[in-house]
Structure 1
């Protein structure tokens, strides 16, 4: 985890010395991004954005959306799959912020056109138990400082024009596509869970049972809890830390799928616990 930490330290230093013109650009871009979020449209002009400006845009965007969506309740970690990192030419994830009213319980159908470029992903939420998680360096250490897991189907929004090649920086600027998500019932922490998280199979299936995407737990950074370790180190470099009760979206297990009006998508977590674990979302 040394490379992500070094990258974060450099980024934090650069943010602190950002010239005034960059700050002005940040405000203008964030204003466009917030307007696009509310209008469910894409954000153009981010193809050449740099890491420092992207970090500033995300922070400003989150602040601008808070009156609509409530306070921050946690984070999402993106670019956790090797294939996507290679495609974008990076060797590290990126993170976004989850706001309170982005997250809901299963039940009511979700409009299939909930986003400018909707992406449905099988994910998993880790619930932070105590601040000791910030010093964790192994999956077992992370697990000791969590209070629960929650199945999670993220309803993300790529938010970038289809003809614009995404970059890690442009994805970070649009808050890593955070828009909506559905939470399942809490899963208690129990012995052997760290091993099962790596070996479980997570899948997305449609209403007929056809598997649309699947991946092992280890598809996320070699172990899903490595996402928490990376995030804690990234936050530490910015003078921040994970807090008890915060939620951490660990990343997408397998490629995202498109919502279909009238369709249903079910995420299954085979091998995570003795009892079957699944969560569904219906689209209208």
Structure 2
């Protein structure tokens, strides 16, 4: 494991010209991630580029258990979260195959060291031509679906540890799990683009209590803007989206602690897209039940 982590650090540092945390620090985080143990921060002074270098090594180490990359997640897609983490732009992480759970999943809590939940939305890439999209309609032409999604991040670090933009990026933007609903076909029209921004997104529990509410405009003013940001960020690092990739667009709700919701069924509802209301649900259960 230590050899694999060290090799991943060398390759990552070469690709982004960043200063990676050392192999021991990354190995310690990977061990803590796997054991659901609150981790130590990589410390102050870690830039987002440094964090991406660490992320590459961590993702490589986790892939043996969690499967191959299937896409990306974009975080810090609102001014409030950017201000909180002191980064004036979004950041990206990688989604791995076994992180994704089916609609209706029973999710054992705690599923991470610091487990939280949020209303989210996925998009699915139809064609690699999205990397050269010149307009919003070009983006839509190269997406096949939008997909209801409850993300279940793990903030990972122990209370009091530094969690800024570089350290968030390093831990793969807190990716841990997510519950995936049914595809909603994309229409490459101005009307569909308008509906994406205007749709209402609500997170509720099985008692009917509303936990959060937002519109599609909550992420960079429009979900398409998140996709366009990711395309440019990947290009800057010599990477491209490909057909079949999925993209988590960010939080349409506050990060809500999962432990107090044990025993509840959580549903995120999407209203205003063609085809009528859609939703995705999960049941949170105590570990061992």
Q: Name the stretch that deviates more: 250-259 or 43-52.
A: 43-52
After TM superposition, where is structure 1 displaced by more than 3 Å over at least 4 residues in a row? 12-18
Q: Which residue of 1 aligns with 2:227?
A: 228
How far the C-alpha of 1:168 sits from its partner, in A, is 0.7
Structure 2 CA distance, aligned partners of 1:258 and 1:29?
27
Distance 1:104 1:238, change over 3 A: same
Rounded Cα–Cα distance in structure 2 between residues aligned with 1:213 and 1:96 = 24
1:85 aligns with 2:82: yes
Q: 1:175 aligns with which of 162, 172, 187?
A: 172
Aligned-residue CA RMSD (Å):
1.8
1:9 aligned residue: none
Match of 2:132 among 124, 131, 135: 135
**Within 2, Cα distance between the matches of 1:250 and 1:188?**
17
Structure 1 pair 193/16, CA: closer, same or farther in 2 (3 Å)?
Answer: closer
In 2, the alpha carbon distance for the partners of 1:195 and 1:128 equals: 19
Pairing of 1:132-281 with structure 2 (within 5 A) = 132-190=129-187, 191=189, 192-259=191-258, 260-281=261-282
Counterpart for residue 7 of structure 2: none
Other structure's SS at 2:257 match: coil
SS state of the match for residue 166, structure 1? coil
TM-score by length of 1: 0.90
Count of residues in Structure 1 that have an aligned counterpart in Structure 2:
269
My pick for the range that moved more, 252-261 or 132-141, is: 132-141
Q: Does 1:117 align with 2:114?
A: yes
Q: 1:208 to 1:16 in 2, by over 3 A?
A: closer
Alignment CA distance shift 1:257-1:16 (3 Å)? closer
In structure 1, distance between residues paired with 2:167 and 2:134: 29
2-side partners of 1:64 and 1:15: how far apart? 17
* 8 Å CA contact retained: 2:41, 2:163: no
Query: Structure 1 unaligned runs (5+)?
Result: 1-11
Q: Does 1:66 align with 2:63?
A: yes
Q: Deviations over 1:104-128 (max 9, x none)?
A: 1123410121111111111111000
* Structure 1 CA distance for aligned equivalents of residues 145 and 171 of structure 2: 28
Q: Secondary structure at the match of 1:115?
A: coil
Contact kept, 8 Å, 2:122 with 2:247, in 1: the verdict is: yes
How far is 1:256 from its partner? 2.0
How far the C-alpha of 1:31 sits from its partner, in A, is 1.0
TM-score (norm 2): 0.88
Superposed displacement of residue 137, structure 1: 4.4
**CA-to-partner distance for each residue in 1:186-227, whole Å, 9 max, x for gaps?**
101124221111011111111111111111111100101111
- Paired with 1:16 and 1:163, the residues of 2 have a C-alpha distance of 29
Return 5+ residue gaps in structure 2 as ranges: 1-11
Distance 1:85 1:207 in 2: 32
